[in-house]
Amino acid sequence: MITFAVLAVVLVIGALGVVLLRQPVHAALSLVGTLLTLAVVFVTLEAHFLAAIQVIVYGGAIMVLFLFVIMLLNLQEEATKTRAAYRWIAYVVGVVAAAAIATGALLDPRQAPDALAVSDALRGGSPELIAQVLFGEFMLAFQLVGVLLLTAMVGAVALVQRQAETPGAR
């Protein structure tokens, strides 16, 4: 209970930091903190392997890419702000959406699943079990992700390539 409360507070503060901090680098570092906290939440949910992957892929690879681009482009804080009316509409939309889903979830209380049965069934979300589903039920999705990654790779290279061909095309 206390663990969840602490993790939830840290997660929400980190998420608010991503949205509210004006310097892109600060926001990205706040997101790194949020993602690492989320990895801890995954551990409390018996998903140890996913927690490791979360740290390596999200906290490592993806966020390094973000920070690299922010520093490469030397992005500063935004010069203009969104019009106040639009900003308040966005805040209201966010609060209403969060409140709606949260009350929907909390109005449907269930017993916390038996910890022993869960750890017996999931075995800490072991790679062995994930592989069984990934290469069984999720085979089509797995192959499509392979195609997607190849497409993304070709796309990323093509984007840079066109730049190299037309250097003076500003």
Partner 1 sequence: MATEYYVALSALIFAIGAVGVLTRRSAIMIFLSVELMLNAANLALVAYARHWAAAGTLVGITGQTAVFIILAVAAAEVAVGLGILVTIFRRRISTNVDNLSEVRL
Which amino acid appears at position 99 of this protein?
A: A
Q: How far apart are CA 110 and CA 105, in angstroms?
A: 10
Q: Which of residues 34-73 bind partner 1 (CB under 8 A)?
A: 34-35, 38, 41-42, 44-47, 49-50, 53-54, 57-58, 61-62, 65-66, 69-70, 72-73
- Contact yes or no for 44/122 (Cβ under 8 A): no
- Minimal distance in Å, beta carbon 1 to partner 1? 7
Q: Which of 6, 71, 97, 139 binds partner 1 (CB under 8 A)?
A: 97
101 binds partner 1 (CB under 8 A): yes
Q: Which of residues 113-152 bind partner 1 (CB under 8 A)?
A: 113-114, 117-118, 121-123, 125, 129-130, 132-134, 137-138, 141-142, 145, 148-149, 151-152
Between the alpha carbon of residue 6 and those of residues 38, 84, 105, 136, the distances in Å are 12, 33, 20, 37
- Contact yes or no for 18/30 (Cβ under 8 A): yes
For the record, the structure tokens of 144 come out as 């499509």
- Minimal distance in Å, beta carbon 139 to partner 1? 11
- Minimal distance in Å, beta carbon 168 to partner 1? 11
Q: Which of 121, 93, 94, 125 is nearest to 12 (CA)?
A: 94
